[in-house]
Amino acid sequence: MSPSTIISLFIAMAILAAVPSSSVLAVLARSGASGFVHGACTAMGIVAGDLVFVAVAIAGLPVIASVTGEPYSLIRYLCAAYLLWAGWRMLRSAGPGEVAGDFKTASHGGSFLEGLLLTLADQKAVFFYLGFLPGFVDLASLRWTDVAVVMGVTLVSVGGVKLLYAALATRARAFLRQRNAARSLHLLAGLVLIAVAAALVLPWPWS
């Protein structure tokens, strides 16, 4: 892979990662309710899922055929159930009987799992990478060093953008906390996670 190809791939993946999506909403919601570290953990879970899809796309169609289908239905519903549970806990933390503060009951591992499952639940992502990557590299002739470069570009570009979103949400959270809006922030974050969960399992006219 030439330096120009690597730079082009990095820019393209960063732009795509910045487009508003369910993963962006999840990072914003987790960062806003629980702080930057939790948002970063969710972002890293998303990146881990993307790396899995990149690896599957590079491995080729036989592997894709073996991992798609019924297993993805289970993953999708598992992810939706987890996000519903997390969203419900956030809504409860915004209730009148709770103290308006940080949402501390979530673990870092739980935030990472949230991002990972959200990404793995999107079966179309692997086909996206299968169509996207050949525009930059020849998947059939990739060497292990090239694979490592593609993985590194994915990690830095997607992870960097998601971390930026986490930082922005954390700054907004600090601004709102100064105005005693913690309850509203938890309420909004809970509703976002529930909406993302619904989007994973409900049929949409345009899907």
DSSP-derived letter for residue 23 is H
186, 103 Cβ separation under 8 angstroms: yes
Q: Which two tokens stand for residue 124?
A: 């179309």
Could you tell me how far CA 130 lies from the centroid of its own chain? Answer: 19
Q: Give the global pTM.
A: 0.74
DSSP-derived secondary structure for 53-92 = HHHHHHH-HHHHHHHSSHHHHHHHHHHHHHHHHHHHHHHH
Q: Which two tokens stand for residue 38?
A: 């939790």
* Cα 16 from Cα 66, distance rounded (Å): 27
- Count CB atoms within 10 A of the CB of residue 97: 5
pLDDT at 175: 67
Q: Which two tokens stand for residue 25?
A: 């909403």
Q: Which amino acid is at 104?
A: K
pLDDT at 184: 66
103, 90 Cβ separation under 8 angstroms: yes
* Cα 183 from Cα 188, distance rounded (Å): 9
Segment 83-97, tens digit of pLDDT = 787 778 777 765 554
pLDDT band for position 128 (cuts 50, 70, 90): confident
Angle at 179 between CA 174 and CA 185, to 5 degrees: 60
Whether the CA torsion 128, 131, 134, 140 is positive or negative: it is positive
- Count CB atoms within 10 A of the CB of residue 105: 12
13, 158 Cβ separation under 8 angstroms: yes
Segment 186-205, tens digit of pLDDT = 677 778 778 877 776 775 44
Segment 13-45, tens digit of pLDDT = 999 888 878 788 888 888 877 889 999 999 999
103, 206 Cβ separation under 8 angstroms: no
| Domain boundaries along the sequence of the chain | 3-8+23-201
